[in-house]
Amino acid sequence: MASVSTAAPEVAEDHGLKREVGIIGLIWASEGSIIGSGWLFGALFAAKAAGPAAVLSWIIATIAVVVIAMVLSELGAMYPVVGGTGRFPHYAYGSAAGASFGWFSWLQAAAAAPIEVLALMSYGSVHLPWLIQQTGASKGQLTAAGYGISVAFMAVFVGINFFGIRWLARTNSAATWWKVAIPLLLIAVLLVTHFHTSNFSAAGGFAPYGARGVLYAISTAGVMFALNGFEQADQLAGEAKNPQRDIPRAIIGAVLIGAAIYLLLQIVFILALPKTTLAHGWAALSFTGDAGPFAGLATLLGLGWLATILYIDAIISPSGSGLIYTTTTSRISFGLSRNGYVPAIFEKTDQRGVPWFSLIFTFIAGLIFFLPFPSWHQLVGFITSASVLMYAGGPLAFGALRKQQPRAARPYRMPAGGFWSPVAFIIANLIIYWSGWNVIWRLGAAIVLGYVLIGLSIAFKANPNTPSLDWKSAQWLPAYLIGLGIISWQGTFGTGAAGHLGLWWDILVIAVFSLVIYYWAIAVRLPDAKAEEYISHHHLRSQPGE
């Protein structure tokens, strides 16, 4: 059992933001992001990638997320700041590392609201085909009219956010109750009405594409993407009423609830499929209306009333997730500005405590994401990789801060943290690797773009709080990013990979590479006094007493 310190750190508010979110609001912030478009599409794409063995993909991904989430829980309770996942590496390694992981954090969050809108458009296209291209090379992509409707949804997300965090938490809480109830209803109905256990051995057996299919599904079929969002409680820590107590509970609770729902959804999806849909194998699985998979399946099974509910939910679930991701993206921008990486205008708040410029920028960036990624499936692998790259900064910061602040109050202390932290880093890098070379090189291009933008902000002194870059403590970072890219290129996952590094050997290489980077990073971490300076500067002061 984890030990819990009774001496909590004194925490000052981030300027302009209000602490109004309780434990339910935090859990539902994470759950509202976890139960989004992932449940509407994940079961179909995972089954196509791995067959019935997709259930193993969900189990493996859940274990991975729990390990990473426990690391972030200690950090989130200890340092309850806005945009935490993007700021923890800054405390441990300084500005160069902090700017990098802050950009990774912003990148995945900014792309999340657009992918939720794309999910909504895909389901809607079953009855409104003019939303999505139906034929030709651009099949499955937004039409001009579809793009216009997508812009409108993004504008609604931003508009709601302007009412303030308390109003947002209540709105998201109500939506999340619905979002949890509908999948549970679907699970119950399919278990009672359609139960074909033979499907688990049909069309090539339980694992028709072997271990590779199981692992590939985690990163590219929406499995890990679906479980993303647990960190939203961390991102809102600066606005939590009792962050030391509530952040760990919110993160772990949200993960377990979401994972249980997703695993059951995958099982009932496989059990309910008619034999005719598997005539050409799992990879070719298709049926009428599969642009909205569960609703299309319900219609195919004669459950028209359930399909109607699911089409309604296809508006509510993605909208709820898009709403909360719009919130957290603006808060990450706020955090990046507090660290001095982007112009100071991102910290401007209105009378409700809303970072208004960050919200407007989030809206504009979201519209841009629709252009290179005009469909749900095209964007999911990119977001997964960016999300997990963001998570990778957690274990690195965890290991360093355990040494830099050994006596700091830890309201939640992860048991066996010295073991689980490097394991979490290995897990994160494996998930990135499994997304495939065709995704990773695009992520690399986005990372370079981020460095250019942050570099321009620093060069032109757009923020008076321009930081020193602390390159000595981030010397491992270029080797990490470039090395991960080279391993991916030499592996077998994704189109364009060289195929020189076979399955299992690649896992060993990633594990060894991860451990080298992990311990190298900790060895060159910021001096203790410098880390304390950065933490104190960002309105946190830890007290002895653990």
- Per-residue pLDDT of 126-178, as tens digits, reads 888 898 887 777 777 888 899 999 999 999 888 887 775 566 556 556 667 78
What are the structure tokens assigned to 274, written together? 């008619």
- Answer whether residue 164 is part of any domain: yes
Spatial separation of the C-alpha atoms in residues 431 and 385, rounded to whole Å: 7
User: Is position 541 within any domain?
Assistant: no
Give the angle subtended at the CA of 436 by the CAs of 438 and 34, to the nearest 5°: 110
pLDDT at 168: 59
Tell me whether residue 7 is in a domain. Answer: no
Length of the chain: 546
Residue 339 reports pLDDT greater than 90: no
Work out how many domains the chain is built from and give that number. 1
Q: What is the mean pLDDT of residues 433-461?
A: 88
d(CA 34, CA 28): 9
Q: What is the mean pLDDT of residues 396-411?
A: 90
Host domain of residue 459: 17-532
Is pLDDT of 540 > 60?
no
CATH of residue 382: 1.20.1740.10
Q: Among 50-54, 174-178, 346-350, 525-529, where is mean pLDDT lowest?
A: 174-178
> Mutual orientation of helices 37-50 and 210-220 as an angle, nearest 10°?
160
Judged against a pLDDT cut of 80, whether residue 239 lies above it is answered with no
Residue 5 lies in a domain: no
| pLDDT reported for residue 6 | 31
Looking at the domain assignment, is residue 544 inside a domain?
no
Which pLDDT score is estimated for 382?
A: 86
**Percent of the chain whose predicted confidence (pLDDT) is above 90:** 36
358 located within any domain? yes
Contact between 207 and 214 under an 8 Å Cβ cutoff? The reply is yes
pLDDT of residue 171: 58
How many CB atoms are located within 10 Å of the residue 523 CB?
12
| Predicted confidence (pLDDT) per residue in 61-111, tens digit | 999 998 998 898 888 778 877 656 767 898 999 888 988 988 888 888 888
321 token code pair? 């997730």
Write the single-letter amino acid at 431: I
In sequence order, the 6+-apart residues with CB closer than 8 A to the CB of 70 are 252, 414, 420, 424
pLDDT of 237 reads: 61
pLDDT at 162: 77
The pLDDT of residue 264 is: 95
Higher-pLDDT residue of 538 and 284 is 284
Cβ neighbors of 359 (< 8 A, separation 6 or more) are 158, 161, 162, 326, 330
CB atoms under 10 Å from CB of 455, counted, come to 13
Rounded distance between C-alpha atoms, residue 344 and residue 464, angstroms: 7
The four Cα atoms 234, 248, 511, 502 give a dihedral, to 10 degrees, of -80
- Is residue 12, in this structure, part of any structural domain at all? no
Instruction: Flag whether pLDDT at 460 surpasses 60.
Output: yes
Long-range CB pairs of 185-191, under 8 A, 24+ apart, other chains included: 185/306, 185/309, 186/265, 186/268, 186/294, 186/298, 186/306, 186/310, 187/261, 187/264, 187/265, 187/268, 189/303, 189/306, 190/268, 190/269, 190/271, 190/272, 191/268, 191/271
- Residue 7 pLDDT > 70, yes or no? no
Supply the pLDDT for residue 2. 39
Percent of the chain with pLDDT over 70: 88
* Tokens (6 digits) for 240: 């939590």
Q: Is residue 325 in a domain? A: yes
Q: What is the mean pLDDT of the chain?
A: 84
Residues 6+ apart with CB under 8 A from 492: 212, 499, 501, 502, 503, 506
Residue 351, pLDDT above cutoff 80? no
Least confident range of 30-34, 270-274, 501-505? 30-34
